[in-house]
Amino acid sequence: MIEVADLTKTYRMGDVLVHALNGVSVTIAEGEFIGITGASGSGKSTLLHMIGLLDLPTSGSVTISGEDVTSLSEYERTLFRLEWLGYVFQEYALMHDLTAFENVALPMMARGVPEDEIRDRVLHMLDQVGLRARADHLPKELSGGEQQRVAIARGLVNDPGILIADEPCANLDSENSKAVLDLFAEINRERGQTVLMVSHEEWHMPYFDRVIRLKDGKIVER
Amino acid sequence: MLSGARVSIFLASRAILRGGKVGTFLNILIIAMVFTNMILLSAIIGGAVNLFHDQTIDYVTSDIVIRPERDERTLFHVDELLDRVNRVPGVARASARYSTGATLSHKGSMVSIPITAFNPRDEVEVTKIHEHIIEGDFLSPADDGILLGQFVAGFEDSGMDFFESLGGVRVGDSVEVMFANGVGKTYRVKGIFSTKSYQADYMAFISWEEMDAVLGARNTDATEVLIRAQSGEDLDLVKLRLLRFGVQERVETWEEAMTQVIADSMETFSIIDRISLAVSLIIAIVVIGIVFTIKTINQRRQIGIQKAIGISNRIIIGSYVAQVLFIWLFGSLSGMVVVNLLLFYFTANPLEFPDGDVVPVFEMATMLENAAWLAAASALAGFLPAWRITRENTLDAMRG
């Protein structure tokens, strides 16, 4: 369960204060596939970053499974991200120097999982995203869709409680976008994993159990 | 902790294997050159120090020297002293020297230096001056000639002289000598020697019997007794034995007897060596630091991604430190190869200095010590830029 309470985030851009989030409160149940949407600058990515522990709010709190994650130290947040959260970013965000296999393996290695276990799990994940045959390829040797699928495999390899996806289809064509959304839906359905995905594409909406719509840093629909 | 180190090494190995090869090669080259620079100056200084030591032993003090106690001017009953010293186990030979002030002149050029008398048969066993005769011959027993160091004999072109000289006397020339006791004599120059030791080459020698003639009586005093120890003997032990055999005077090993000027020079060399080491390390830190600052700035986004997916700062910093240590390892090994090639070259072609030929001394302990310093400097230079970037906000870093 994720509980966001009265969350605000204010940036300073030069002399101007920008209120990216303006008192957002929302509760997300375990196993929900949530779409976060809104116009550009509405605060959807900011909200996702707060829930994903990538940034700290100006005020308010984010509680995940009873733990107030906004009060954690930098190191504790890193560990929390590793253990609890999986990420898929718009720009794929893969490590250039690592093959598909190694990119997926990295979060498991950081957790100190034995090598045999890593190998089996990573190959299984790559199999799930249809990239087992491309395991030894570097990101530059993969298409955009393939890179995003590697990123999804990496995001899921530690079996996180929550998958955070920040516009994962923004750089993909509709065919690859559909493949990614189908994969998310399958993961959510079969594993009961909570999925939070930012999107502004209307045709994505049917995939979500619920849509949180933001406008000017406030929730206008939930 | 160990799994974190494993991930750091894994990330570093992939960055090196799949990163820019030219950049890595240039970094290794920088370390190799810095390492060579650190070792080379130290090795030349070590060679110069060795040269000083060898010259002191071979021309000035031999292995051990006996000198009068500080309140005395001479050693008395030198024949008895020589007999006693020559019986001490570990002593190969002893040679007495007697020095007295004199003024030497030749065709208007004048030099005031001590003139030293010795027994040539003993002297050739304790010093190596006889091996460096560049003109004429060494003294023979009861010789009535004079042996001059090259700086005393001097050059016809006074611009080539280091000190006041006789203006270029040659073997066979006559030199007038006025001794401190008022006796004046004219000597034929028997030989001129050049050891390249400033101390030795500014000396003049006559035979013991000739000194007897100057003093007007058989001389039984000496200003010093030089002792050559048998090969492989521990000089401190030989000194101890001399004392046990009843030698009452001031017994000093060559190191103890080295003049304060030379001891100060050694200290100065040591300071120069340490400054050079510090400068080399600073250069290494700055150069590697710049290279890794650029590298981490270029990889800022990748660092941000690593942080975002839960890789700890410790692992990320560790990966950069591991990369720089890899560069250090291969750089230092390459540097050792270069240094050893230089060793072969300089052993065959010593560096020529005015005071002798210097063969740089490359010691494994020094190389390992310098390599350790360089490792610390490299690690620091790799650590700081990575530490700085990992302290940034994750999202800012991800935006590149």
* Structural domain includes residue A150: yes
Q: How far is B41 from chain A (nearest CA, A)?
A: 40
Q: In the predicted model, is pLDDT for residue B293 greater than 80? A: yes
Q: What is the pLDDT of residues B151-193, one digit of tens each?
A: 999 988 877 777 889 998 999 999 999 999 999 999 999 999 9
Chain A, nearest residue to B6 by Cα = A109
Which residues lie below 8 Å from residue B313, measured CB to CB, with a gap of 6+? A74, A75, A78, B307, B387, B390, B391
Distance from A149 to chain B by nearest Cα, in Å? 16
Instruction: Please report residues of A whose CB lies closer than 8 A to that of B306.
Output: 95, 106
Task: Please list every residue in chain B whose beta carbon sits closer than 8 Å to the beta carbon of residue A98.
Answer: 14
Q: Say what the pLDDT of residue B261 is.
A: 67
How far apart are the C-alpha atoms of B78 and B213, rounded to whole Å? Answer: 17
In which domain, by residue range, is B40 found?
2-56+262-398
pTM for the structure as a whole: 0.74
Cα–Cα distance, B330 to B16 (Å, whole number): 12
Residues of chain A contacting residue B395, judged by C-beta atoms under 8 Å apart:
49, 54-55
Q: To probe the interface with A, which of B309, B316, B391 has the most A CB atoms within 10 Å?
A: B309
pLDDT confidence bin for B44, thresholds 50/70/90: confident
Distance in Å, alpha carbon of B13 to nearest chain A alpha carbon: 10
Does the distance separating the beta carbons of B4 and A97 come in below 8 Å? no
In this structure, the answer to whether residues B226 and B138 fall within a common structural domain is yes
Nearby residues of A85 by Cβ (< 8 Å), 6 or more positions away: A52, A53, A160, A161, A162, A163, A164, B310
Whether B243 is in a domain gets the answer: no
Domain boundary among B189, B214, B232: B232
- Asked if residue B82 belongs to a domain, the reply is no
Q: Given a cut of 70, is residue B17 above it in pLDDT?
A: yes
| Residue A9 covered by a domain | no
My answer on whether B296 and B366 are in the same domain is yes
**Contact call for A82 and B6, based on CB within 8 A:** no
What average pLDDT score do residues A103-117 get? 94
Residue B179 belongs to a domain: yes
Last residue of a domain, one of B232, B248, B282: B232
Contact list in B for residue A95 (CB cut-off 8 A) is 11, 14, 302, 305-306
What pLDDT band is residue B23 in, cutting at 50, 70 and 90? confident
Please judge whether B302 and A102 are an interchain contact, meaning their C-beta atoms are less than 8 angstroms apart. no
Domain shared by B132 and B227, yes or no: yes
Model pLDDT, residue B236: 93
Q: Is B69 a domain residue?
A: no
Residue A173 lies in a domain: yes
pLDDT tens digits, B316-328: 999 999 999 999 9
Same domain, B374 and B297: yes
Q: What's the CATH number where A212 sits?
A: 3.40.50.300
Q: By CA distance, what is A81's nearest residue in B?
A: B310
**Cβ-contact B211, B137 below 8 angstroms:** no
Residues of chain B positioned with their CB less than 8 A from the CB of A198: none
Q: How far is B14 from chain A (nearest CA, A)?
A: 6
Helix then strand then coil, in percent of chain A rounded to 5, is: 40, 30, 30
What does the pLDDT average to over B135-157? 92
List of chain A residues whose C-beta atoms are within 8 Å of the C-beta of residue B11: 95, 97
User: Which of B211, B232, B253 is at the close of a domain?
Assistant: B232
Same domain, B95 and B15: no
Q: Is residue B72 part of a domain?
A: no
Whether the Cβ atoms of residue A99 and residue A138 lie closer than 8 Å to each other: yes
CA-wise closest residue to B94 among B129, B53, B62, B139: B62
A75–B312: do the CB atoms touch at under 8 Å?
A: yes
Binned at pLDDT 50, 70 and 90, residue A34 comes out as: very high
* Beta-sheet strands, E only, within B209-272: 224-229, 250-253
CA dist B128 and B61 (Å) reads 11
Q: Is residue B76 in some structural domain? A: no
The answer to whether residue A3 sits within a structural domain is: no
Q: Give the pLDDT score at A222.
A: 66
Cβ separation of B3 and A109 shorter than 8 Å? Answer: yes
C-beta atoms of A49 and B395 within 8 A:
yes
Considering only alpha carbons, which residue of chain A is nearest residue B303?
Answer: A95
More confident residue, B359 or A138: A138
| Each residue's pLDDT tens digit, A135-176 | 999 999 999 889 999 999 999 899 899 999 998 888 888 888
Residue A4: the pLDDT is: 93
Number of independent structural domains in chain A: 1
Tell me how far apart the alpha carbons of residues A190 and B349 are, in angstroms, rounded to a whole number.
Answer: 79
CB contact under 8 A, A110 and B6: no
Tokens of A16: 């101007």
- B311:A79 CB<8 A: no
What's the pLDDT band for A194 if we cut at 50, 70, 90? very high
Would A7 be classed as within a structural domain?
no
Q: Tell me the residues of A at the B interface, defined by beta carbons under 8 Å apart.
A: 49, 54-55, 74-75, 78-83, 85, 87, 89, 93-98, 102, 106-107, 109-112, 138, 154-155
Say which of B6, B18, B312 has its CB closest to residue A97.
B18
Nearest CA of chain B to the CA of A119: how many Å? 15
CA B40 to chain centre: 13
Looking at the structure of chain B, the number of domains it has is 2
Average confidence (pLDDT) over A21-26: 92
Is B305 in contact with A55 (Cβ distance < 8 A)?
A: no
**Six-digit token pair at A101?**
């296999």
B395 with A55: Cβ contact below 8 A: yes
Cα A194 to Cα A31: distance, rounded to the nearest angstrom: 4
* B251 within a domain of the structure (yes/no): no
Range of the domain at A122: 31-57+73-221
pLDDT of B259 above 80: no
What count of other Cβ atoms lies within 10 Å of the Cβ of residue A26?
19
Asked if residue B107 and residue B50 are part of one domain, the reply reads no
**What residues are paired with B117 via a beta bridge?**
B98, B206
CA distance B91 to B178: 36
Give the tokens for residue B247.
């030698």
Amino acid B270: pLDDT = 81
The reply to whether A119 falls in a domain is yes
Contact list, A87 vs chain B (CB under 8 Å): 308-309
How far A207 CA sits from the closest chain B CA (Å)? 25
B25 Cα to chain A: minimum distance (Å): 18
Residues of A in contact with B18 (CB under 8 A): 96-97, 138
Q: Give the pLDDT band of residue B272 (cuts 50, 70, 90).
A: confident
What value of ipTM does the predicted structure carry? 0.89
B100: number of Cβ within 10 Å: 18
Average pLDDT of the residues in B338-346 = 90
Per the domain annotation, does A17 fall within a domain? no
Q: Mean pLDDT, to the nearest integer, of A193-211?
A: 91
Lowest mean pLDDT among A99-103, A170-174, B99-103, B239-243: A170-174
Least Cα separation, residue B287 to chain A (angstroms):
24
For residues B285 and B354, membership in a common domain is answered with yes
* Cβ(A159)–Cβ(A151) below 8 Å: no
Asked if B216 and B98 sit in the same domain, the reply is yes
